[in-house]
Every structure is written in C-alpha cells, then in structure tokens.
C-alpha cells in the first residue's frame, strides 16, 4: 500500500488512517524512523516501562510527586 502525504510548513506529516489502523497506532505511541537513501521506514515501538509508569502515576493523580521520588536515585 502506498499513499501520498504532504509535509506541512512545520515539517509534519499525517500518518494515513489505513496505516494507523494497520499498525494499531494511538495518540502517544512511539515510532522508530529509519532512513535508507531516500526511503523512510516507520515501525511501531512497544511501550517502554518509563511511559507505562508515567501513565500509571498520572492516573493516580500524584504523577509529579511520585515520579520525583522514583527518579531521585
């Protein structure tokens, strides 16, 4: 599947819906970008532990306080 996208004046592109659906992308997901010559390859990365912890702490409503304690060491 090849779909044409246009880069914005802020150097951003929109990942087409078919690609988002195919990769099951959601807001906040991370992508690896690999450039080979003039080809760009996007790959969905698994959520890392840091992102998971931040999300869990935020849900508790004490994210900043607890995150500071966890990262002090």
Q: What is the pTM of this model?
A: 0.54
Three-state SS string over the chain comes to CCCCCCCCCCCCCCCCHHHHHHHCCCCCCCEEEEEECCEEEEEECCCCHHHHHHHHHHHHCCHHHHHHHHHCC
Q: Given this model, what pLDDT does residue 73 score?
A: 58
| Tens digit of each residue's pLDDT (9 = 90 or more) over 27-72 | 988 888 889 999 988 888 877 766 666 666 666 666 667 667 777 7
Which pLDDT value is given to residue 11?
A: 94
Query: How far is the C-alpha of 20 from the C-alpha of 30, rounded, in Å?
Result: 12
Tell me the C-alpha distance between 70 and 73, whole Å. Answer: 7
Task: Give the mean model confidence (pLDDT) for residues 21-26.
Answer: 90
Specify the pLDDT at position 42.
Answer: 87
């Amino acid at each position: 599947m090849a779909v044409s996208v246009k880069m914005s004046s802020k150097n951003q592109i929109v990942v087409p819906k078919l690609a988002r659906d195919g990769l099951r992308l959601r807001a906040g997901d991370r992508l690896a970008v690999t450039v080979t010559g003039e080809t760009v390859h996007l790959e969905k990365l698994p959520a890392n532990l840091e992102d998971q912890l931040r999300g869990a702490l935020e849900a508790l409503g004490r994210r900043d306080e607890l995150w500071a304690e966890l990262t002090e060491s």
